[in-house]
Structure 1
Amino acid sequence: MKRKKVTSLLALMMAGVLAAGMAGCGGSGNGDSAEASASSESGDSGDKSTVTIWATGSDNVRQVYEALIEDFNSNSDYADQYTAELQFMLSGTGTQSMTDMLAAAYQANQTNTDYDLVDVGGDDLSALISRVGEEAFVKLDDSKIPNAERVSAESSLAADYVQPYRGTTVILAYDSEAVPNPPTTMDELVEWMKENPGRFAYNAPGTGGAGDSFARTSVYNFLPEEAMTSDDTSWEDQWDEGFQFLTDIHQYMYTSGGSIVYPNKNQGTLDLLNQGEIDMCPNWADMVLSQRADGTLKDTIKITQIDPAFTGSLQSLAIPTFGSNEDGAYAFIDYMLTDSAQEILVKEMAAIPLVDTSNIDMTGYEDVMNLDVSNFRIMSIGDLGTDFNARWDSEIGTLG
């Protein structure tokens, strides 16, 4: 009985297969329609060429790039010509870095790769130029980047080969209720520290870039400007005067429990400022502004630049010579300098725009308009940074 049921079931299944096959043959119009639809979709995407953008950083960088690429693909003047795709490498994952991959591709004489456009800046750019030289990148033709004329900022490295598109810098963050007239120079800042002991803090170098910037700027203010972009160990012999300066101002730093304290991380000093424990601290402009916009930082906290300025950087785009879509790369660079892209950068990550902001909604980010990107100071000292932090730990961090 069981065997008959199985036989009957198989017969029914075979009949169903035959019927489906006959329907497929008899209904060739439906098959043609499906093929035409697939062909049409392929043709639509085939009209556009793909440009691949490579970037690295924290997750907020990935998120803003996703928003930018969506806008480029849907709303930009180039939307009917190119489709942008993102290859993103999260920093700090322990995997091969984007710099390593680019250097390896160039040194292996690879061609026609998908490294169409790369996002570089600061130490990444310095490392790339050191390893592969400027010749690994296309010398930019400004006639292919019409919006480049809107940008006054210029990279201190490989200026003819990279196009800056956003800025970031360490600034002086302050509570405007406690400090209605903030210092404008380092000398004025030191005088303010003396008059208001315990009301200033910077985080320990090595725990965050803001503290690194304050300490290194303080030391390198006593050195020639070229020292700021050199990893020559001979500069270490000239650090003494700057470290003496850090020793001298140590007594005016934030105090807790009767001892001088250097907070951990950029957030540590910002929390103290927000809680009213201090009135001023160095911090990243984008960090302060994004937290203020989110409502996690009180709105009386403002930002300002001093002279000499703390260090910052210009994030730039470069076209490797071994990519496969140079025209698409130029198109994306030009898009990044539009008001639309610059506003996305401001709103999504509190980036400092590099174009005239008169047509950009800067609500909540008005402080950025007062930052002079042409006054940014770039520091790239390579492995000297490790030696610097070790000396700070032994000479300043132990003062108590």
Structure 2
Amino acid sequence: MMNKIVGNVIRTGAIVLSVSLGTMMLGGCSSKTTAKADGEKKVTVWAGGSDNVRIQFEKQIDQFNASQDKYTAELQFITSGTGAQGLFDRVVAAKKAGQSNTDYDVIELGGDEISRYVEEGGEDFFVTLDKSKIENIKNLKVEASFRNDLVVPYRGTTVVLAYNSDTVPEPPKTTEDLYKWIKDHPGRFAYNTPGSGGAGGSFVTTSVYNFMDESALTSTDPANKEKWNKGFDLLKELHPYMYKSSGKVVYPNKNQGTLDLLANKEVDMIPAWADMAITQIKNGTLPDSIKITQLSLSFTGSAVSLGIPSIGTNQDGAYAFINYMISPQAQNTALDTMAAIPVIDFSLLDQELTKSIADLKIDEFRISSLGDLGSQLYEQWDREIGTLE
């Protein structure tokens, strides 16, 4: 009998203790940790590309999570060149399969990718943005390259002219000046094969399309191929003046190939991605004598954006993350970690960080969106320029 009474007392005490603890957690305990656990919702951010993009996003997500208690962002990153299915293919396949409530809450898009997503996934692929939910948009100085109603730009990227200021005290200011400089300084200029990297691709594209209407740069009309002749004649004319090794013209492989030539002082000038050049100057891979400048007409570039797929689960969290990414804190972080060109008012940024990009005019970036014509352009270069002696 006594054992039964003791057992009941113990059970009763356990129930009371359990209820008391529950009451403390629900009511009496108002700690930040508990509030966060109750109100938190995960927002998944998807991006892809090179390692510098991943590093930037990891830092941004850490800062976003530390800045507020309502949402927790998580990164899903697809590194380029790994053979993994690309982000575009994954999200479009999910949409076409009729999936909903997926973890595709926010995705990063390159300059003209928005057009591909809408073309493949439908006009309802992205949420039409309610910009009243993006408070920091008031500081935005750049519009998205395409479909400003569906995406918000968060960083800029462009190809620039990188040069050795010790040997080139006054760099060319226009494309015509550049072509003249190349002819006046045989062997001191290089660009990589267009199919191996965007810097060389931009040089070839602008060399050809500068002879055409500006609207052609964002057209996929096959008829434009008939207007490529003047540009290819120019590239053939410049060919003998390019960088040489063992007496033969050499077009380096990949964007890094030309940067290595510039670093080793084998050439004095190259087209290069702004973020790659700035980052390598900063970390000492390129010497301090290397500078960058933006031509008129400029090489091609674009704004990289963020969008909210309609098949995601946390639109409010997605808006919060996008709003953070165009805050001064996030813009400083993108500039510091990967030399990303800010898209908000520069006066709101760390002035020491902006010194390296002070001469770049993002409003003068030229956008290229050629579709399959881009690949055909590079293939024609391989046949007509890459095979020249």
Q: Same fold (TM over 0.5)?
A: yes
- TM-score where L is the length of structure 1: 0.87
1:289 aligned to which of 254, 278, 294: 278
Q: How does 1:1-400 map to 2 (within 5 A)?
A: 28=14, 32=18, 44-75=36-67, 79-363=68-352, 366-400=355-389
- In the other structure, the counterpart of 2:3 is none
State the Cα deviation string for residues 337-393 of structure 1 (Å, max 9, x = none). Answer: 111101110111111111123343353652312211111112122222222222111
Shift of 1:168: 0.8
**Whole-Å separation in 2 of the counterparts to 1:304 and 1:212:** 18
Shift of 1:251: 2.0
Q: Is the CA contact (8 Å cut-off) linking 2:44 and 2:105 kept in structure 1?
A: yes
RMSD over aligned CA atoms reads 2.5
**Whole-Å separation in 1 of the counterparts to 2:62 and 2:11:** 42
Q: Is the CA contact (8 Å cut-off) linking 2:111 and 2:146 kept in structure 1?
A: no
Shift of 1:31: 8.2
Partner SS, residue 162 of structure 2: strand
| Paired AA for residue 66 in structure 1 | E
Partner SS, residue 195 of structure 2: coil
**Whole-Å separation in 2 of the counterparts to 1:224 and 1:133:** 30
Shift of 1:307: 1.1
- In the other structure, the counterpart of 2:4 is none
Runs of 4+ in 1 over 4 A off after TM superposition: 24-43
User: Which range moves more in the overlay, 119-128 or 65-74?
Assistant: 119-128
User: Which range moves more in the overlay, 117-126 or 184-193?
Assistant: 117-126
**Whole-Å separation in 2 of the counterparts to 1:56 and 1:199:** 35
User: Which range moves more in the overlay, 339-348 or 264-273?
Assistant: 264-273
Shift of 1:43: 6.0
- Radius of gyration: which is bigger? 1
| Paired AA for residue 68 in structure 1 | Q
Q: Is the CA contact (8 Å cut-off) linking 1:292 and 1:299 kept in structure 2?
A: yes
Q: Is the CA contact (8 Å cut-off) linking 2:163 and 2:290 kept in structure 1?
A: yes
**Whole-Å separation in 2 of the counterparts to 1:294 and 1:187:** 32
Summarize the Cα distance change of 1:365–1:250 in structure 2 as closer, same or farther, 3 Å threshold: farther
**Whole-Å separation in 1 of the counterparts to 2:123 and 2:232:** 35
Consecutive unaligned residues in structure 1, runs of 5 or more: 1-20
- TM-score where L is the length of structure 2: 0.89
State the Cα deviation string for residues 211-253 of structure 1 (Å, max 9, x = none). Answer: 0110111101112223222333222222111100101111221
**Whole-Å separation in 1 of the counterparts to 2:133 and 2:150:** 13
| Paired AA for residue 137 in structure 2 | A
Q: Is the CA contact (8 Å cut-off) linking 1:346 and 1:362 kept in structure 2?
A: no
Partner SS, residue 186 of structure 2: coil
Summarize the Cα distance change of 1:313–1:292 in structure 2 as closer, same or farther, 3 Å threshold: same
Percent identity of the aligned residues? Answer: 50
| Paired AA for residue 283 in structure 1 | A
Q: Is the CA contact (8 Å cut-off) linking 2:46 and 2:104 kept in structure 1?
A: yes
Q: Is the CA contact (8 Å cut-off) linking 1:57 and 1:90 kept in structure 2?
A: yes
User: Which range moves more in the overlay, 288-297 or 108-117?
Assistant: 108-117
